[in-house]
Structure 1
Amino acid sequence: MENEFPVIETKRLILREATKADAGDMLDYLTDIEVVKHMGLEPFQTVDEVWEEIGWYQSIRKEGTGIRWGITMKDNGKVIGSCGFLNRAPKHFRAEVGYELNQAHWGKGIAGEALEAVVRYGYHHFQLERIEALIEPANIPSQRLVEKQGFKREGLLRHYEYTCGKFDDLLMYSLIKKDLKII
């Protein structure tokens, strides 16, 4: 792991480290039930909860099990979502990808642009062979997003997680390095 947090730039976005200074921007979307309902989280209530989330981002990077970028628009630098890896298993050359985006930016191709950049980073810098996405069956927009990126649906993981007082089924999607058209 590098000491300096890697910054990824795309046509419209800068993906960078989320810090405590971004907590207010992040609270805007993490309080939105529509944003968090498929994340296994209750809507956030306080800035302290956002600080805990940022602390989790820092801990997975320090442990080498993941990395999470704050998604910002180039024009204003405001964090409007996040995207990154978790449950990274270097021994097996795989990681899970996750993301969320402020509802005000849905339907503009931003999540796809961020996801594509993060996937490329994973293949180049972590030498990943397999990237997984675990998605609730009701989250059709997320399924469409990963399918557009080339992910293949592998099956249903029944009662895979216990979140918000219930067991959740999750669809397993994967993208194998050779599936990518351009790396």
Structure 2
Amino acid sequence: MKTAAFPVLETERLLLRKVTPEDAASMLTYLSDQNVMQHMGLEPFQSISDALDEIAWYESIVKEGTGIRWGITLKEDGQVIGSCGFLNYVSKHHRIEIGTELSRDYWHQGIASEALQAVIHYGFNNLEIQRLEALIEPANYASQKLFERQGFMKEGLLRSYEYTCGKFDDLYMYSLLKHEVSLKE
């Protein structure tokens, strides 16, 4: 899943771009929020160092060819307010996981949906992807609805699938197949 240059995605209101160390402070704002982090399998971030580690992870998945994560920004100000992207690419099977998070200040405005749609289209149009997968905690109703609105189908419950924050988490498996989406730009 190598890309020559980091792709910038543009929607009506958003610019999805590469996150840089200069974005660490704005990322810390939402990644330190318990409400944002409660279903991510991570403790709320405590420092700029935590945000810089997250940015380094974004860079590493691109370098390794296992994923890509865009910073979500509003066109008018360019500040990172969330992220959306792919991880755990399995080239042999043409599948990849997709996920997103967004600052609480921007919930219920259609921003996550707009970003997710752009990333879905990029994946199916530009990568050799047949199947997108989203793993969502059962208590995360908002994410379930977000992905269902994009056409994802709930396939089942993966019991004790991940061990995070000192506990085992069940996760719903959602999927979207390439032929289920209209890929017109």
Once the two structures are TM-superposed, the CA of residue 124 in structure 1 deviates from its matched residue by: 1.1
1:80 corresponding residue in structure 2:
81
Cα deviations across residues 11-42 of structure 1 (Å, max 9, x unaligned)? Answer: 00000000100000000000000001100000
Q: Does 1:9 align with 2:34?
A: no
1:33-182 correspondence runs (5 A): 33-182=34-183
Indicate conservation of the 8 Å contact 2:19/2:70, yes or no: yes
Partner amino acid for 2:49? D
- Structure 1 unaligned spans of 5+: none
Q: SS at 2:163's partner residue?
A: strand
1:115 is displaced (CA, Å) by: 0.3
Partner SS state of residue 160, structure 2:
strand
Aligned counterparts of 2:162 and 2:134: Cα–Cα separation in 1: 14
Counterpart secondary structure, 1:137: coil
Deviation at 1:100, TM superposition (A): 0.3
Partners of 1:67 and 1:60 lie apart in 2 by: 6
Identity of matched residues, %: 60
CA distance in 1, matches of 2:145, 2:153: 11
Gaps of 5+ in 2: none
Question: TM-score normalized by structure 1?
Answer: 0.98
* 2:124 and 2:183 in contact (8 A); partners too: no
- Please name the residue that 2:29 is paired with: 28
Partners of 1:104 and 1:173 in 2: CA distance: 26
Show CA shifts across 1:140-175 (max 9, x none): 000000000000000000000000000000000000
Q: In structure 2, how many angstroms separate the alpha carbons of the residues matched to 1:123 and 1:2? A: 14
Q: What is the Cα deviation at residue 2 of structure 1?
A: 2.8
Amino acid paired to 2:56: G
Q: TM-score, normalised by structure 2?
A: 0.97
Q: CA RMSD in A?
A: 0.7
Pairs aligned (count)? 183
Distance 1:3 1:21 in 2: 23
Segments ≥4 residues shifted beyond 4 Å: none
For residue 114 of structure 2, give the secondary structure of its aligned residue in structure 1: helix
